[in-house]
């Protein structure tokens, strides 16, 4: 359970969707355009997963053409805050981590 939540935060598409929805509701193709590089399939699956977990709501307006809006729930927003905190940590320590990676890679290039 805890694990599946952590997996959500580690999932690229979920994070991007939640980030965009933080600015307000979006329609399916708006999301698709703003994310760019996501397949219809993955976007659908991601949205289903988020909806299933109660992180976003899916509102269908039965018109022609049909219209579907996705929006963050309160739960979704509270998770987003934590994701942002983590992203903040990543940004703060970005140079440290990059330095560590570089040093590691050089150490291992030398041993080859």
Partner DNA sequence: CAGAATCCTACGAGATACTG
Partner DNA sequence: CAGTATCTCGTAGGATTCTG
Contacts to a copy of itself by CB under 8 A: 1-3, 5-12, 15, 51-54, 75, 78-79, 82-83, 85-87, 89-91, 93-94, 96-101, 104-105
Residues ≥6 apart with Cβ < 8 Å to 76: 18, 21, 50, 54, 55, 56
12/81 with CB nearer DNA:
12
Q: How far apart are CA 63 and CA 110, in angstroms?
A: 64
Residue 29 binds which one of DNA, a copy of itself, none, with CB within 5 to 8 A depending on kind?
Answer: DNA
Helix (H) or strand (E) holding 55: none
User: What number of residues does the chain have?
Assistant: 112
19/32 with CB nearer a copy of itself:
19
Closest contact distance (angstroms) between CB of 85 and a copy of itself is: 7
Closest contact distance (angstroms) between CB of 74 and DNA is: 21
Strand order in 67-72's β-sheet?
26-27, 67-72, 56-61
């Amino acid at each position: 359970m805890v694990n599946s939540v952590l997996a959500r935060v580690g999932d690229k598409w979920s994070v991007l969707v939640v980030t965009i929805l933080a600015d307000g509701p979006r329609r399916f193709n708006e999301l698709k355009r703003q994310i760019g590089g996501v397949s219809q399939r993955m976007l659908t699956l991601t949205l289903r997963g988020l909806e299933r977990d109660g992180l976003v709501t899916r509102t269908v307006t039965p018109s022609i053409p049909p219209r579907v809006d996705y929006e963050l729930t309160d739960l979704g927003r509270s998770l987003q805050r934590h994701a942002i905190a983590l992203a903040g940590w990543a940004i703060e320590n970005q140079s440290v981590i990059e330095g560590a990676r570089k040093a590691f890679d050089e150490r291992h290039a030398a041993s080859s």
